[in-house]
Amino acid sequence: MEKLVSSWYCDKTLPQSYIFPPETRPGKHIIPRCNTIPVVDLSKALEHDRTNIVQQILMASQEFGFFQVINHGVSENLFNDTMNVFKEFFEMPAVDKAHIYSEDPKKPCRLYTSRPDNDTERVHLWRDCLKHPCHPLEECIKIWPEKPTRYRDTVAAYSIEAKKLGLRILELVAEGLGLESGYFGDKLSESPILSVNHYPPCPDPSLTLGVSKHSDPNLITILHQGDVRGLQVLKDGEWIGVEPLRNAFVVNIGHQLQIISNNKLKSAEHRAVTNSTIARTTAALFISPSDDCIIEPVKSLNDADDSQLYRAFQYKEFLRHYISVMGDTESCLERYKLA
């Protein structure tokens, strides 16, 4: 528990173990707020504008790998209540969180700091993380935190709605790619995992990161980023900030969707920076395939001028490799590319 950043960050200078090499530090330069990452109004997908919304999602997934969604069907009360519960969890006394804390990366529900295996890393991340599976919900909920007392009921309702939203977006993606309805259902999206990151105020945000540069290994991610800035996306070699919008989710493409689409969609690299004045809490629902799910490009997306770019593999194989290369985008995709 004493390793948690939130347990010791007050009134301290930044420890050497949290200082990133100069080439990967965020530095003091101002990252522009990005008003160009598309904002998709999902309510229009229920109307005559559905074809246009499908194209907006495809274009955003090709150009940025990121977009935000509004009017998404998740109630504002649930949206706000869930974030409040997450904040309450991290604000609880250490004694109430001690039984959830673990340094064992194989424990399915745990509170930890920095990366899943922080004893082997050279530089620590400025974050604490609560992570747990959400499927099958009736079993997983038994290992979730018991405090705050409304955690299980609130987060269960949220995880159901967030996954529904993810499947709805995947259905629009399938439509845009010319795939049959329900293509991304069943094993391809069977295993949602919730990751709640907490970034306390940092003594020197220019020297460290909350999350280092990476792309997500899963299918698609539904992010509740709260109302504090910190998410940055790499586009054309430049970092751009993703502006928090009220009651909006950030959606990003994972490696599996890039591979299945045969590079028609892209999993963009992103990171989280810290700030010196206010804590930031975010919640990502990683919609993931089952471990034994076979991943490969959809054959129908390969035309005469567009050969298959990746070999078939089991998702658990990809995940093991992703962890072994610490999420390095080029390294984790290279192994599965066809010559």
Residues 56 and 38: beta-carbon distance below 8 Å? yes
What's the mean per-residue pLDDT of the chain?
94
How far is it, in rounded angstroms, from Cα 206 to Cα 303? Answer: 46
pLDDT recorded at residue 77: 98
Query: If you write DSSP's letter for every residue of 20-40 in order, what string do you get?
Result: PPGGGS--SSPPPEES-S-EE
Provide the β-strand partners of residue 285: 194, 222
- The encoded tokens of residue 315 equal 């998702």
How far is it, in rounded angstroms, from Cα 112 to Cα 6? Answer: 11
Residue for token pair 């799910």:
293
pLDDT recorded at residue 81: 98
Nearest alpha-carbon partner for 244 in 224, 264, 214: 224
Residues in the chain: 339
Between strands 66-70 and 39-41, the pairing is parallel
Q: What are phi and psi for residue 83, nearest 5 degrees?
A: -65, -40
How far is it, in rounded angstroms, from Cα 256 to Cα 259? Answer: 5
Report residue 228's pLDDT band, with 50, 70 and 90 as the boundaries.
very high
Residues 273 and 205: beta-carbon distance below 8 Å? yes
Between strands 110-113 and 280-287, the pairing is unpaired
pLDDT tens per residue, range 271-310: 999 999 999 999 999 999 999 999 999 988 876 667 999 9
How far is it, in rounded angstroms, from Cα 167 to Cα 72? Answer: 12
- pTM listed for this prediction: 0.96
pLDDT tens per residue, range 10-50: 867 999 999 999 999 998 766 766 667 899 999 999 878 99
Identify residue 198 by its one-letter amino acid code. H
